[in-house]
């Protein structure tokens, strides 16, 4: 894992840790582990953003955002409330963006090395279902830049 990605993940981990101290926040949905691996043009893709999109749309009563970044070897574990905690029950599609982590501003930006090919949740071929008590292994997801 590159040094910049490692520092970014440490910063995110500290934010999650310190935000979990103190008074309890709003109620949280139960989550279940979701993992996989991404390759682009046959090679592992590190620091690639992976976003979960609920097929039913955003839950307006208890909205959640589930996403993660791939490690240097292309592997990932999706997070909702805390690092690698998983995803609430439901049916999802995955979308992807391959930009770069901006350590100075603490953000992630383009240009998208995938040229926006995998940004549309409705066109996504990566679809999965999360069921109570069942971890999900998405296996290897192959993307291309062409």
* pLDDT at site 11: 54
* pLDDT at site 38: 98
* Band (22; pLDDT cuts 50, 70, 90): low
Report pLDDT digits (tens) over 78-117: 999 999 999 999 999 999 999 988 888 888 888 999 999 9
- Per the structure, the complete domain to which residue 122 belongs is given by 3-143
The phi and psi torsions of 6 (rounded to 5 degrees) equal -60, -45
| Structural domains in the chain (count) | 1
Q: What is the CATH number of the domain that holds 38?
A: 2.60.40.10
Report pLDDT digits (tens) over 27-68: 899 999 999 999 999 999 999 999 999 999 999 999 999 999
Q: How far apart are CA 48 and CA 95, in angstroms?
A: 10
pTM assigned to the model: 0.80
């Amino acid at each position: 894992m590159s040094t910049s990605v490692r520092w970014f993940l440490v910063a995110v981990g500290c934010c999650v840790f310190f935000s979990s101290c103190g008074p309890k926040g709003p109620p949280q949905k139960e989550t279940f582990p979701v993992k996989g691996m991404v390759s682009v043009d046959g090679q592992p893709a590190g620091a690639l953003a992976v976003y979960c999109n609920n097929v039913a749309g955003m839950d307006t009563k208890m909205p959640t955002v589930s996403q993660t970044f791939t490690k240097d070897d292309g592997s990932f574990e999706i997070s909702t409330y805390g690092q690698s905690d998983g995803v609430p029950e439901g049916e999802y599609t995955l979308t992807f963006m391959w930009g770069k982590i901006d350590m100075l501003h603490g953000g992630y930006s383009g240009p998208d090395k995938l040229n926006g090919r995998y940004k549309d949740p409705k066109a996504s071929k990566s679809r999965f279902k999360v069921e109570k008590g069942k971890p999900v292994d998405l296996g290897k997801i192959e993307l291309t830049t062409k």
